[in-house]
Structure 1
Amino acid sequence: MMPQHSERGAAAVAVLSNMDPWEANLVLNLRLWCEGSSGQSQVWNEYRKALPGEHATHECHAFETLVHTIVSSAHRPLVRHQVGCSCVGADEAVFVNLVRMASEGHLNDAALVATLLMGPARAEHVALLAGQVGACARKMSRQSIQPIPQTAQNVVRLH
């Protein structure tokens, strides 16, 4: 039996194939980023391929800051599935909903959703970052680029 903390946030609540492409890619980038330096390199490369020069650096840094802020402020370790897994866990779904709401301009709702993962002190800041990340993720998805995997602290990989 798995430790109790890894069960929370692990429940499969969706599948990648039923999500908008930009949302599925966002989940994959989150998984890759949390895998460590190899996965982070893949995410950086995706941004570099999809966006021009300094814009790629700026946008990927926003993604990095968003993930780091959430992971470092999380109530408990975030649970994610392996990069190749087709299901989406509850924590991953909360992340996507946070980014979707923020990128649609619903910053107050996004800040509230952020508190499902972390304390309220940084929720507004996270909502603003999530809006930027979401707008960029939508743009990159239109250019159709696929990522692949490596291990962030305070994140538990389920399967």
Structure 2
Amino acid sequence: MSDEPNTNGKAAEPAQAPRLSIVLQYIKDISFENPKAPAGLQSNVRPEIQIKVDTRATQVSNDGHYEVVIDLEVEAKASEETIFLLELDYAGVFQIANIPPDSLQPLLMIECPRLLFPFARRIVADMTRDGGFPPLMIDPIDFVTLYRQRLASAASQAKAGGTDTALT
């Protein structure tokens, strides 16, 4: 139907399809601390594990390239002593085209991290295993909820102090 003339007498141009592609992905920063080794490795105490997750996105070029980073911090404690501490910033560069401006932020903060997460999860499992512990398999992360929490936090900060509400 795109061959039908429009009101100007010219053929209507087909709309460009939205496009999201991963250009590259990489470890931006990584750290594993095992302060109780070797004694901490021999303990039969099951540590309490806390995981903090954050995401960020920045435009790296004017041709639709964006860097998206998942920040993971994992701390295992037993009796208030740190057994291990893992920090990972896992990133990807995405090329994005033909995305409406109001859909860009959710795409960068939800879909892009969702594509990166399985790779970050594997790195965390390998690091904990290589550190002498059972592999830590992080449960899937709900990036939609994380995004909504960031929106709510930014809105409350803007309301309280008139600060910038940008998420990147």
TM interval, short-chain normalised: under 0.3
Larger radius of gyration, structure 1 or 2?
Answer: 2
- Structure 1-normalised TM-score? 0.27
Q: Which has the higher contact order (CA 8 A, sep 6+)?
A: 1
